[in-house]
Structure 1
Amino acid sequence: MAGAGAGLAVLGLGRQATAQPRNPAWPRALNMGTAAPGGTYALYGPAWGQIVQEATGINISFRTTQGPNQNIILVQRREVELGMVTMGVALQAWNGEGAWTQGNKFRDIRALFPMYDTPFHGIALKRSGITQMSQLAGKNVGVGPRGGTPGTYFPLMLDRLGYKPATIRFGSGSDMSGQLQDGLLDAFLFASGVPIPAFSEAETQGEVNFLDFTAEDVTKLTQAFPELSAGTVAGSTYRTAGRDLRVVGMFNFAIGHKSLSDDLVYEMVKAVLSQNARLKQVIAAGSETLASNASKNTFLPFHPGAARYLREVGQTIPDNLVLA
């Protein structure tokens, strides 16, 4: 989390020891579910949380989680009021699909604002000789936390492509990176805002190959999983990538519990989306945190307070996509 602290210093936002909400009807404190160290949520969450804290006077606390799946469960239960999700996992939650939902439909979550795209890609040590996803058959592969988006989707994606690893391991991004360096993993696959912190760290510790998908892979995956879209990670994203990476991606959204008041959510969303330049100073993925990306959500109901702000700044939010 050191990177998050440095970023928050750039923002000029210190943690407030005692919060004083600007509206006495608002809560004094809110909790946000983030994710394990080594992924973007661990940095992005505190960045936008501090912007909200400054704008509202409400103290925002951050809870380390396994990622989107657990964030949804916690928001549904109101163990946290705020969280971050990828839209594929949110779709599973809304419909009660996917083994992790156990058939439960999570209908108390609401979309707040678009965050950034999450491209799926990976790394392997150069000495392994692994240069493409197809070579992962029979290998030991790490995919991040079990409850995260890559932990949920990569096993399904590799199975769909017919690249079946000998072992799939789960853990935090930083843990996966360490296992890769120690030779316990042949490859580390992840999905997060780019540059993925754990990937950037790994390429400073030794020579790595970046793993992406073939055009045929992308076609198969987008047909099998409509929530995925084709994309590219620019070669300049990582210091040693040396080429553009062909990927599939999934957009991320901030979510909140439906019980949050409309005026509070309006001020939160306004604070984040109207200060994009400040957010980008902290984390590169913030460059995509734009009101115009609200269209990336086609199914998860927006909170009425969020819809109000998005409409004020010119976004078309259908009535059937707003739910109190």
Structure 2
Amino acid sequence: MLKSKTIIIFVLAMSLVMGMLSFGIAAEKQFVAIATGGTGGTYYPLGGALAQMLSNNVEGLIVTAQTGNASRANCNLISRGQIETAFSQANVTYWSYSGTGIYSNEPILTNLRGIASLYPETIHIVATKASGIKTIEDLKGKSVGVGAPNSGTAADAEIILAAHGITFDDIKVDYIDFNEVAQRLIDGQIDAGFTTAGFPTSSIINIATKRDIVLVPISPEKSKELVEAIPYYGATVIPGGLYKGVDEDVLALATPALWICDSKLEPTLVYKMTKALWEHRDVLEKVHSQGKNITLETALGGMGIPLHPGAELYYKEVGLIK
């Protein structure tokens, strides 16, 4: 009888110990989110793949990707402590951090920190052929989707239009995301729309399968003017044949996409996430063609805000920072 009681006590004690260990293991889990963009852009698929890859390769870390309005909205989420990391355009991130540019009258978001520069985001200006729009000047008086409120696309639209002497008061503005731009163009409810995303972007592919479209070019003169005036803009070309019905190359502007985070994140955690990104970046290449442009050699390109100390440590280890 005594032996049986001893065995029972031993089993109960072991169960208690195992339960405490299990609780300890569960308590060690860390949860991080990545704010991406709408489902019709490039942030969304790459953000989802990055979240899964980090969860698979950083022990004890669970990462989720969240849709959103992107760029400035994502910067605001980090600033308010509502999300840990996000994707954002380089120019918008720099203006948000420094309180300059189009955000000179907005709160300065000083807790933004950089993890990596990812790939170029190209500013597409897409219109239906039926609209008769061929140049940016032709947008005056038209119905134009300029991106979601507080998005990088809306900022790009405002800047590019202003360079051509057009304000939002001169057009019929629709603050709508990529998917809504696509649907309204297909339905004939708007004439044109702006989309800033790594090409090819699914929303424009969708439009081109259902309507005859044109991609409106920026002139070489205006491109040069804006590249010289606006931080982190660069000239690029949208290749002919990328979208149905657009057979010629189209001159456009681009800006780097950044992965950014809250300065309050632990350096060890950010170091591990940065290391995982560059050791498993091939996962991203399988999800979207822009994944091939996510390279260690360009990891610091267009980084207009301070690096997070955890990311900086990794780049020093691999010799990218001396």
Normalised by the length of structure 1, the TM-score is: 0.85
Cα deviation 1:44-78 (Å, max 9, x = unaligned): 21111111111114222233221111111111222
Distance in 1 separating the partners of 2:84 and 2:298: 23
Q: Output the amino acid matched with 2:110.
A: R
CA deviation after TM superposition for structure 1 residue 226, in Å: 3.1
Question: 1:194 aligned to 2:203?
Answer: no
The match for 2:216 is 211
AA at the equivalent of 1:244? D
Correspondence for 2:231: 226
1:254 and 2:259 aligned: yes
Superposed structure 1 runs of 4+ greater than 4 Å apart: 23-27, 98-102
Aligned to 1:36: 38
- Offset of residue 254 of structure 1: 0.3
1:205 Cα deviation after fit: 1.3
Output the CA distance in 1 between the equivalents of 2:75 and 2:27.
25
Q: Deviations over 1:106-154 (max 9, x none)?
A: 1111101111111112211122222222211221111111211111121
TM superposition shift of 1:88: 0.7
The DSSP-based 3-state class of the residue aligned with 1:110 is strand
Partner of 2:300, secondary structure, is helix
Q: Which residue type is aligned with residue 93 of structure 1?
A: S
What is the alpha-carbon distance in structure 1 between the residues aligned to residue 152 and residue 190 of structure 2?
Answer: 19
Report the secondary structure of 2:55's partner residue: helix
Larger CA deviation: 110-119 vs 164-173 = 164-173
Q: Is the 8 A contact 1:68 1:85 kept in 2?
A: yes
Identity of aligned residues (%): 24
Structure 2: give runs of 5+ residues left out of the alignment.
1-21
Aligned-pair CA distance for 1:202: 0.7
Q: Secondary structure at the match of 1:301?
A: coil
Taking structure 2 as the reference length, the TM-score comes to: 0.85
Matched, 1:139 2:134: no
Work out whether 1:150 is the aligned partner of 2:156: no
Residues 1:86 and 2:89 aligned together: yes
Code of the aligned partner of 1:156: I
**One of 173, 177, 183 as aligned partner of 1:178:** 183
Q: Secondary structure at the match of 1:282?
A: coil
Task: Work out the CA distance in 2 between the residues paired with 1:297 and 1:128.
Answer: 36
- Measured in 2, the distance between the counterparts of 1:236 and 1:205 equals 16
Q: Given that residues 161 and 220 in structure 1 are in contact (C-alpha distance below 8 angstroms), is that contact kept between their aligned partners in structure 2? A: no
| Pick aligned residue for 1:307 from 288, 298, 312 | 312
Give the secondary-structure state (helix, strand or coil) at the position aligned to 2:225.
helix
Structure 1 position 66 matched with structure 2 position 69: yes
Give the match's secondary structure for 1:47: helix
Deviates more, 1:215-224 or 1:115-124: 215-224
Tell me if structure 2 keeps the 8 A contact 1:146–1:152: no
For residues 47 and 175 of structure 1, what CA distance do their matches in structure 2 show?
23
The count of corresponding residues between Structure 1 and Structure 2 is 297
Q: State the 1:98 CA deviation.
A: 5.1
Work out the CA distance in 1 between the residues paired with 2:232 and 2:35. 23
Deviation at 1:236, TM superposition (A): 3.9
2:129 is matched with which residue: 126, 130, 139? 126
- 1-structure distance, mates of 2:303, 2:64: 29
Deviates more, 1:233-242 or 1:282-291: 233-242
Which residue in 2 is equivalent to 1:54? 56
CA-to-aligned-CA distance 1:221-252 (integer Å, 9 cap, x gap): 22332331111222243243212221111101
- Separation in 2, partners of 1:308, 1:236: 42
Report which stretch shifted further, 54-63 or 72-81.
Answer: 54-63
**Shift, 1:91, TM fit:** 1.1
- In structure 1, what is the equivalent of residue 249 of structure 2? 244
Distance across 2 between alignment mates of 1:219 and 1:97? 21
Counterpart code for 2:165: G
* Contact 1:37–1:172 (8 Å) recurs in 2: no
The residue type equivalent to 1:128 in the other structure is S
Equivalent-residue separation in structure 2 for 1:241 and 1:175 (angstroms): 21
**Which residue identity does 1:69 align to in structure 2?**
R
* 8 Å Cα contact 1:291/1:310 also seen in 2: no
One-letter amino acid matched to 1:41: Y
Change (3 A) 1:99 1:209: closer
Q: What is the alpha-carbon root mean square deviation over aligned residues?
A: 2.2
Structure 1: runs of 5 or more not aligned: 1-19, 318-324
In structure 2, relative to structure 1, the CA distance for the partners of 1:299 and 1:99 (3 Å cut) is: closer
**3-state DSSP class of the match of 1:62?**
strand
* Residue aligned with 1:315, SS: coil
Pairwise CA distance, 1:103: 3.3
Cα distance in 1 between the residues matched to 2:216 and 2:318: 39
Q: Partner amino acid for 2:276?
A: A
